[in-house]
Amino acid sequence: NAGVTQTPKFQVLKTGQSMTLQCAQDMNHNSMYWYRQDPGMGLRLIYYSASEGTTDKGEVPNGYNVSRLNKREFSLRLESAAPSQTSVYFCASSLRGGDSETQYFGPGTRLLVL
């Protein structure tokens, strides 16, 4: 099993450009998440999908959109990138999104917006 995979690993954008970050998991998990991690701050939840067909906002959703394409895939889109979106983005999944479940993370995407 590959676990959680993310593409691309690195990306440089200019302000105003758009891009989609891809995430896929092969663990048959129902819940998937997108986080961003900035220096000195914990991971912050952008959006999550408790199950296929549903998506909900997390703590910092502004400037992002998501699509839960199917059970395996959950993408994050930046419509008009801003320098404040420079960050490391992690996708994660868990079996059912329950309180005590482990989250499994992808390797991350490092995004620089100039």
Partner 1 sequence: RKEVEQDPGPFNVPEGATVAFNCTYSNSASQSFFWYRQDCRKEPKLLMSVYSSGNEDGRFTAQLNRASQYISLLIRDSKLSDSATYLCVVNKGGYSSASKIIFGSGTRLSIRP
Binding footprint of partner 1 on the chain (CB under 8 A): 31, 33, 35, 40-45, 48, 50, 56, 58, 90, 94, 97-100, 102-103, 105-108
At closest approach, how far in Å is the CB of 63 from partner 1? 18
**Cβ nearer to partner 1, comparing 33 with 64:** 33
Burial class of residue 36 (count of CB atoms within 10 Å of its CB; 0-12, 13-18, 19+): buried
At closest approach, how far in Å is the CB of 81 from partner 1? 22
Handedness of CA 27, 32, 37, 41 (dihedral sign): negative
Rounded CA gap, 14 and 16, in Å?
6
**Cβ nearer to partner 1, comparing 83 with 107:** 107
**Cβ nearer to partner 1, comparing 14 with 98:** 98
Contacts of 40 (CB under 8 A, 6+ apart): none
At closest approach, how far in Å is the CB of 78 from partner 1? 20
Tokens of 33: 């998440």
Rounded CA gap, 9 and 21, in Å?
9
**Cβ nearer to partner 1, comparing 16 with 65:** 65
At closest approach, how far in Å is the CB of 19 from partner 1? 20
